[in-house]
Structure 1
Amino acid sequence: MITIYHNNRCTKSRQGLALLEESGKDFEVVKYLENTPTESELKNIINLLGIPPIELVRKNEAIWKENYKGKDLNDTEIISAMVKNPKLIERPIVINGDKAVIGRPTEKISDIL
Structure 2
Amino acid sequence: MTITIYHNPKCGTSRNTLALIRNTGEEPEIIEYLTQVPSKLRLQELISAMGVPVREVMRQKETIYAELQLADAKWSDDELIDFMLQHPILINRPIVVSEIGVRLCRPSELVLDILSKPQCAAFNKEDGEAVIDAAGKRV
- C-alpha distance in structure 2 between counterparts of 1:27 and 1:50, whole Å: 22
Greater C-alpha radius of gyration: 2
Q: How does 1:68-87 map to 2 (within 5 A)?
A: 68-71=69-72, 72-87=74-89
Unaligned residue ranges in structure 1 (runs of 5+): none
2:33 partner letter: Y
* SS of alignment partner, residue 38 of structure 2: coil
Matches of 1:9 and 1:68, distance apart in 2 = 25
Pick the aligned partner of 1:96 from 98, 108, 111: 98
Within the alignment, does 1:6 sit opposite 2:7 as a pair? yes
Alpha-carbon distance, 1:48 to partner: 1.0
The aligned length equals 113
Structure 2 CA distance for aligned equivalents of residues 70 and 96 of structure 1: 31
Determine the structure 2 residue equivalent to 1:41: 42
Structure with bigger RCO (C-alpha 8 Å, 6+ apart)? 1
Q: 1:75, 1:69 → 2: CA distance?
A: 11
C-alpha displacement of 1:98: 5.8
Cα distance, 1:107 vs structure 2: 1.1
Mean Cα deviation higher: 56-65 or 19-28: 19-28
Identify, as 1 or 2, the structure richer in helix: 1
The one-letter code sitting in structure 1 at the alignment partner of 2:81 is I
Distance in structure 1 (CA, Å) of the matches to 2:69 and 2:99: 32
**Which letter maps to 2:39?**
T
The one-letter amino acid of 1:103's match is: C
Whether the 8 Å contact between 1:92 and 1:103 is mirrored in structure 2 is yes
Give ranges in structure 2 of 5+ residues lacking alignment.
116-139
Residues 70/111 of structure 1: CA separation in 2 closer, same or farther (3 Å cut): closer
Structure 2: distance between partners of 1:98 and 1:73: 32
CA RMSD of aligned residues (A): 1.1
1:59-109 deviations in Å (ceiling 9; x for gaps): 110011101334310010010000110000111110113611111111110
- Runs of 4 or more, structure 1, over 3 Å off, are none
